[in-house]
A = this chain, B = another copy of it.
Amino acid sequence: MLLSALLTSVAINSGLCILFCTLYSILRKQPSNYAVYAPHLLAEGKSKRRSRFNLERLIPSPDWLQTAWKLSEEELLSSSGLDAVVFMRLITFSMKVFLFAGIIGIFIILPVNCSGELHIVDFTDLPSNSLDVFTISNIGNRSKKLWVHFSAVYVVTAFICYLLYYEYRYVSSKRMAYFYSSKPQPHQFTVLVHSIPVSVEGSISDTVDRFFMEYHPSAYLSHVVIRRTSKLRSLTNDAKQLYRRLIHLKSDHTQQKDRRSSCFGLFGRKVDLANQYEKQLEDIEHNVRLEQASLAGEKEARAAFVSFKSRYGAAIAFHLQQSTNPIEWITEEAPEPDDVNWPFFSSSFIHRWISKLTVLVACITLTIVFLIPVFFVQGLTNLNQLENWFPFLKSILTIKFVSQLITGYLPSLILQLFLKMVPPIMLFLSSIQGYISQSNIEISACNKVLWFTIWNVFFATVFSGTALYVVDIFLDPKNIPGRLAVAVPAQASFFIAYVVTTGWTSVSSELFRMFPLLCSLIMRPFTGSIDNELEVPPLPFHRDIPKILFFALLGITYFFLAPLILPFLLAYLCLGYIIYRNQFINVYAPRYETAGKFWPIVHDSMIFSLVLMHAIAVGIFTLKKLSLASTFIFPLPVLTLLFNWYCRKRFLPNFVGYSAESLIKKDRQEENDPAMKEFFDKLVTAYQDPALMPFWFSSSTDGLNSPLLSSAQERG
């Protein structure tokens, strides 16, 4: 790849970014797009739909940049929660790392590479130089210059480890501060108990009561036995859909009355339909009530949410093995009430176990064979095949530009489209894996997507083969560094281009919100503008954290091989910094709070990147016949892993649970708070299955407001 090609790509993508940003700054001002670009503000009531037209609405303005820039961490914390703060810390952390690595890379390593023995840089016509001139490939065997790279590897590793330590400590302290400053929350006082043994003497509820009265007499408060509500849930969902359709019909009807247009006889038919819907809804409600009544007595799952009078009491029940038989009375930390994954409880143990195994196999299979269908589809994109299938395209395909576009861009487009499908698939797989909370599902999906990306984008590209071939390489562990050393530098230009194209585009399309915008445009004619239906989306961490981590991995592994990647990476991160802050202000609102539990994933991924970089360094120095350097690199991965081990000891426990010290302190703070009585009264019913909540739609359709929907909004 020539430098000129890279510069072209940079120019095109910079243009695209600017275009997206400009379009965004116009579109966001149109009231009809408020639901797409500012749902968070709308939901908070900070932004009102202005319908009056003025010219300002059509002129792009950079004021949103300023707002996003000015946002302080405290504001972000209060509006979007700790998870958003952690996400932004990930970006600033990467910026710091690559600023430091960039200075070393551009001002020290790049000149050394250019002065290499193999190619001479043509300074008269810079763009015509091959990118290889700027990489480590340009340096000859046994060259003393390689010691510069060697030192850079040490310095940057030390810097990253220092930053990692500092960040882990910071996030950990933020987590503690969040805990200390939080109001009493139901999940802090509650544990989930499952595998409750069935006793002949009474119901599950009696058994739970007896057990906790016996062994936790002073701390035990109350419990809610979980029931299998899958049938009820499907009925409720039916009712909700029907209710929405009915609301829509009625509002249409109202609008039409307003406009005094009852032409085409549609009005009469619609009223009929409305009546029919209402009747159906009443039927379903009747069924729901019957089902709820029948649930009261039976269909108990062998699980219950048990609440305690103090956080410390709940922690004791969580940490100690309760029963002499370790597979009975198993306790888990309860999730927030809105975070509970209710469908989980409807499945039986054996069912859950099988699905767990299936998910494991499915994940591994998907990761390994993912590239096969992609290559197959890409194979179909060769021109002859296309011409055979669609003869009428022949004339167009003979144009050189079109054929280049199709053969050049189509394969990578197909790969990107396939990759876009991965996060939802992984989320789905995690959701049937048996997690009790949505947040755990998302954390697990985040991990899955991360390893999938590393495997199928990094390794598959580097070894330019399917993942099955990569598996084969990894079954021969001795030769991994050697193979990496040959393959990784060869792909430097590809990954530089990857950062510019995929990275820049993905972050600016995040701003533009292409897909929600299209949805809103298409759906607008069919739906009324009902405020109630406004959905504020949460940021899909499982999609965006792996993306940023993958770019960080590219930066860490390539910084000493091809330092030219670093400026582009920094540009990507700066874009991401401003755009994600803007999105947190305007678009996303958290649905639940993991209080920073994503950070350990970030930490582990960084450590993996470092060790991978060391393996590549060992391989490179061996390949360049500088065996002394490759020997001296060996302590580095060992030290890095020891550092990681220390961090796990030092910080990880605080991300799993809270210490006795902090729990007791927090409990004592509130001991004499009069508001606690009210809180405990609420706590008793906090973990009611939403499917079992009182339920009436039909009688409230006129008020356009059902208790179910409103309660859901209160929580959201």
Interface residues of A (CB under 8 A from B): 176, 214-215, 315-317, 319-327, 329, 475-478, 649-654, 657-662, 664
Minimum CB–CB distance for A476 against chain B, Å: 6
Q: Are the C-beta atoms of B657 and A321 separated by less than 8 Å? A: yes
- Out of B475, B478, B651, B661, which one reaches A322, CB within 8 Å? B661
Once the chains are docked, how many angstroms separate the CA of A317 from the CA of B320?
Answer: 10
Q: Are the C-beta atoms of A659 and B478 separated by less than 8 Å? A: no
Instruction: From A316, A321, A323, name the one whose CB has the most chain B CB atoms within 10 angstroms.
Output: A321
- Chosen A-B contacts, 14 in total, with CB atoms closer than 8 Å, are A176-B324, A215-B661, A316-B316, A320-B659, A320-B660, A321-B653, A321-B657, A321-B659, A323-B659, A323-B660, A324-B654, A326-B659, A475-B477, A475-B478
- Which B residue sits closest to A216, measured CB to CB? B660
Q: Are the C-beta atoms of A327 and B650 separated by less than 8 Å? A: yes
Instruction: From A320, A327, A329, name the one whose CB has the most chain B CB atoms within 10 angstroms.
Output: A320
Once the chains are docked, how many angstroms separate the CA of A71 from the CA of B649?
Answer: 48
- Which B residue sits closest to A317, measured CB to CB? B660
Q: Are the C-beta atoms of A659 and B316 separated by less than 8 Å? A: no
Minimum CB–CB distance for A191 against chain B, Å: 12
- Which B residue sits closest to A652, measured CB to CB? B326
Once the chains are docked, how many angstroms separate the CA of A176 from the CA of B326?
Answer: 12
- Which B residue sits closest to A664, measured CB to CB? B215
A662-B324 contact in complex given A475-B478, A477-B475, C-beta closer than 8 Å: yes
- Out of B322, B326, B661, which one reaches A323, CB within 8 Å? B661
Q: Are the C-beta atoms of B326 and A320 separated by less than 8 Å? A: no
Q: Are the C-beta atoms of B653 and A326 separated by less than 8 Å? A: yes
The 5 A-B pairs of least Cβ separation, nearest first, read A326-B653, A321-B659, A319-B319, A320-B660, A475-B478
Minimum CB–CB distance for A662 against chain B, Å: 5
Minimum CB–CB distance for A137 against chain B, Å: 29
- Out of B214, B324, B651, which one reaches A659, CB within 8 Å? B324
- Out of B326, B476, B650, B661, which one reaches A651, CB within 8 Å? B326
- Which B residue sits closest to A654, measured CB to CB? B326
Residue numbers in B under 8 Å from A476 (CB-CB) = 475-476, 478
Q: Are the C-beta atoms of A322 and B215 separated by less than 8 Å? A: no
Residue numbers in B under 8 Å from A323 (CB-CB) = 659-661
Minimum CB–CB distance for A36 against chain B, Å: 43
Q: Are the C-beta atoms of A660 and B478 separated by less than 8 Å? A: no
A215-B660 contact in complex given A320-B316, A475-B477, C-beta closer than 8 Å: yes
Once the chains are docked, how many angstroms separate the CA of A711 from the CA of B344?
Answer: 60
Once the chains are docked, how many angstroms separate the CA of A316 from the CA of B650?
Answer: 21
Residue numbers in B under 8 Å from A321 (CB-CB) = 653-654, 657-660
